[in-house]
């Protein structure tokens, strides 16, 4: 019985009017909320942010002032970028924002921060280049000098040798001196005449030369007192250097030192 009355009510004009009024109220409420939000947020309105990247900060500041923006500036040091240049902006160029919106700028500082020179000695060239880049420095000139090592021997800045820990402006160029891995191909011929034999043997070894034949002149009665009286090769006006490993032949005699080799 109740169900029949309900279906009968659904067919009445009163129900249709109430339904239409309810739907109209919902639509009206939706429209009011939509337009209210649009008005509140000024949807579709605003000022586009200008392109500021690459611009000098003074020019960027004046442009923002003219267009009614506020701004805040942070600084950062960037290699190979001119001091005072804008490298970042937030919001991005072309973004529509409200008037008086604060625009955040990142500007290249005019003063390079100091960095401590890392320890590059014993590093290969590749290792040194990677380390230098990580510290914000640059490789300048690279020179080689005779040495059996093939790693960094010296680090120079402004022509002067510098040690690890030296403070340098970030971005500075430092010069590297490396060993050529081969060492010297020639050495000076030492003058061994009138020198103790044991001393001469030590010097020959330290100079990269080779001890050759030892000729004994006369009788040797005291082996602790033997001096060199001649050598071959010997230093002359026309020959002052020999190749590494050259054999040095010596003539030695007992006791009393002479000022010149025998005839």
28-85 residue pLDDT tens: 776 677 666 554 444 446 789 999 999 999 999 999 999 999 999 998 877 678 889 9
- pLDDT tens digits for 236-256? 878 888 887 789 999 999 976
The answer to whether the beta carbons of residues 247 and 212 sit under 8 Å apart is yes
End-to-end Cα, the chain, rounded Å: 153
- pLDDT tens digits for 179-200? 876 666 778 899 999 999 999 9
105 C-beta neighbours (distance < 10 Å), count: 21
Share of the chain above pLDDT 70, in %: 81
Nearest Cα residue to 63 out of 50, 73, 53, 48? 50
The model's pTM is: 0.42
> Comparing 113 with 131, which gets the higher pLDDT?
131
Per DSSP, the residues of 219-257 read --S-TTSEEEEEEES---SS--EEETT-EEEEEEEESS-
| pLDDT at residue 259 tops 60 | no
Mean pLDDT for all residues in the chain:
83
Provide the pLDDT for residue 52. 93
Provide the pLDDT for residue 243. 81
Task: Tell me the two tokens of residue 253.
Answer: 């005699």
What is the maximal distance between C-alpha atoms in the chain? 153
- The answer to which of 69-73, 107-111, 153-157, 211-215 has the lowest mean pLDDT is 107-111
- The pLDDT confidence band at residue 110, using thresholds 50, 70 and 90, is confident
- The pLDDT confidence band at residue 262, using thresholds 50, 70 and 90, is very low
């Amino acid at each position: 019985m109740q169900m029949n009355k309900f279906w009968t009510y659904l067919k009445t004009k009163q129900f249709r009017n109430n339904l239409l009024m309810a739907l109209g109220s919902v639509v009206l409420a939706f429209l009011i909320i939509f337009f209210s939000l649009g008005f509140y947020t000024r949807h579709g309105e605003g000022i586009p942010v200008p392109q500021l990247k690459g611009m000098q900060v003074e020019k960027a500041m004046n442009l923002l002032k003219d267009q009614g923006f506020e701004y805040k500036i942070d600084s950062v040091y960037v290699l190979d970028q001119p001091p005072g240049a804008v490298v970042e902006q937030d919001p991005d160029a072309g973004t529509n924002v409200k008037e008086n919106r604060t625009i955040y700028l990142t500007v290249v500082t005019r003063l390079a921060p100091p960095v401590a020179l890392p320890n590059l000695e014993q590093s290969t060239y590749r290792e040194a280049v990677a380390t230098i880049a990580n510290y914000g420095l640059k490789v300048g000139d690279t020179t080689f000098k005779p040495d059996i090592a093939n790693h960094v021997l010296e680090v120079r800045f402004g022509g002067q040798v510098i040690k690890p820990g030296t403070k340098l402006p970030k971005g500075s160029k430092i010069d590297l001196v490396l060993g050529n891995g081969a060492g010297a191909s020639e050495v000076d011929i030492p003058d061994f005449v009138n020198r103790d034999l044991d001393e001469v043997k030590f010097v020959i070894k330290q100079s990269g030369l080779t001890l050759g034949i030892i000729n004994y002149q006369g009788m040797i009665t005291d082996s602790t007192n033997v001096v060199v009286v001649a050598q071959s090769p010997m230093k002359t006006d026309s020959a002052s250097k020999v190749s590494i490993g050259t054999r040095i032949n010596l003539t030695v005699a007992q006791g009393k030192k002479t000022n010149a080799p025998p005839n």
